[in-house]
Structure 1
């Protein structure tokens, strides 16, 4: 349970444990097997805050301690039908000291639905015509203290039932949860909701305790006889003799002894009941003796021992046959569980082998892919080196080409300059030749005019410069 920060954990745990209420209970068929235990309940909240204050550290398990005996399993199932899909387990218990009521232990799947169930049903009536009020208590824990096994108990009754006796399906396949009756037989909740009787479908044990009868005249509860004609209850002749007095007054000659369930005929003064209840297993066996008795079965000289012995022998034989059938059933169930375990082991081994083979194949494939990846990485590195070298060579050739272009451009410029100079010199030379021709023509014409005269030519600046350039 939760503790606050400033408290001692051990002290709080001890105080919380001491605050829990203990509810002793029992379950099982008293003729065969009986289980005893104690339910630890959280204390009820105060009346003013019962609808809002919930116990701290509660668990998804509640107890309904006061369910009337006349409410069958189906009636209680309809009472809490809206929460049936969230119920994991329901167990019917017999509360010590309470005769006309039984308790119900309910386990839910979540805490929220447990709180909702508590809020919805705590303090409400089971029906509009019912005077009893439903009380819901939170359960802290359930302790089983004692297991009482009686003689001639069958194996089937004490062993856990793997399947539902009604629908023969496995108990863990129903979403509505499991219902365990007061005789410790487990069923599907949905199967028991259709069972209108308060008895168990397997052993017919009824959760309703039989009412204690008493003599209608003196009120004693020992050696009672009931008239099978009118139902009058009276005591035997060794108590008050009111049963035989009733026969004398009414002439109702048949009377049933409540303890042994045998019918006495007052007129014939003998037992006429042919079926008695065996004390070994509770089954009805045939009683084959019809001897005379002088009293209500209390005669000390009764010679009906042979019939009783025969009936007990038949009952023992039936018990042996039933026990043998139960033993065979249990052995077959063990064999089925054994072979199911073998199949489960084989399935697990196959799964392990498949997983190992898959892991091995994946490892081999990963190794191959890793080798291919390493090879590709190596080739990628080689190609990267070649690329770097090619890039360096390309840069170097670009520089060389640029230098060649620059030299070509410089040579072209020099050539253009030379061509321009030569063209200028050519033009000057052509002009010089033209002037010389002009001067020669002019000199010839003048010579014809001036006879005997000599004309001296004066060199011009252009001719001097041209001559000097030619010499150069």
Structure 2
């Protein structure tokens, strides 16, 4: 047995704590809570959980939850109903499950509830969890409110175990006092543990072997995912346990929803009866007769004995747990037992031949009804079987259609990528062509200007050339005339006379004089040549 002491820091002001440092026990109210952990069929661990509450408790009915000044990432929920399974607890913590590193469930057998210790990854998420769930109902059905406290520290009290020196001294004293006594089972267990340690040596110093999850067989690393430890001391990943169907443990099949029944009036756990109408649990005649008192107050006739599962009729003062439904009038009648050895009362008088015949007829009718029910159940199972087959076929078709759509999507994606690449290439070409066109337009303007200048220059050159050609044509005419005249003179009979003669030219207008003078001068020059 070991004890856990949890110090809860609620609303203690930090300034007051610094100014007035008094012992924790004197300043705050000490409350103890017993807990239970482990599978009862294997090993049960018991202990106490101690809470230190602040002088100024918070109000759970306030709309905004005020955070304590002193708080940590370790949070304790102290009022969890015991019938809530670990999966339901994870559903309650769904919005914060990814931020929780460790979860440990402890059961309080005295108050029929559980306590959940949670280690958050950050202080911010722990504060948000406190503000979101403190003082709230677990769901719309539960009457219990979620009460959350911040945990300041957890202390494990030392206990005497098989590996402690005190236990070894105790074994030595026992061996000295009883030399002939047979070895105790603990000594044999210690020897077997020593052999196991030889076969499987402990990890190196400073290192710890990480256990594995029983569902996914991966290592339970708190830094990678949240870890939940159940009441039976088995640890799992939160996600793995959340996907586990059922409330039992995946390892030992221990059901976490087992609730110990007790009388609602006196609290005794022996000779209990439960009302079949409202579910009230009371004790029998060997205790306080609170079950009968409940009948007298409510006139609920039928009550079930929890130990034997037999039904008692307070109105008829007898066991009527062999009731069947009459098809004719819809009322409950007692079915007689073949061996009336259990002490039930008989409500049927001696039967006559007509009643026996009617009983046989009813028996055949019951067999027919039973056959109809059996046929109906078989047809229902067959319907479910074929519905599952159709669901499989539809699932296969949908999977094929999905694969086809996926293949088409990939093809369209590739085509789209190719078209996008082609579009990009064409856009690049278009940009290049536009720049080239812009450059050509600028060059065209420059060349047009140069062509205009060349045309003007060409026009001037043509004019000058035309003038020079006109001048040259006049000179050629004169030259031809000179050559022609010279040829004629040489062929003439009066050549000598002409050579020694003088040519006189009549006077003409100034322009003509200049022209003739120029022409005669040119002829003279040619003659001289």
TM-score, structure 2 normalization? 0.38
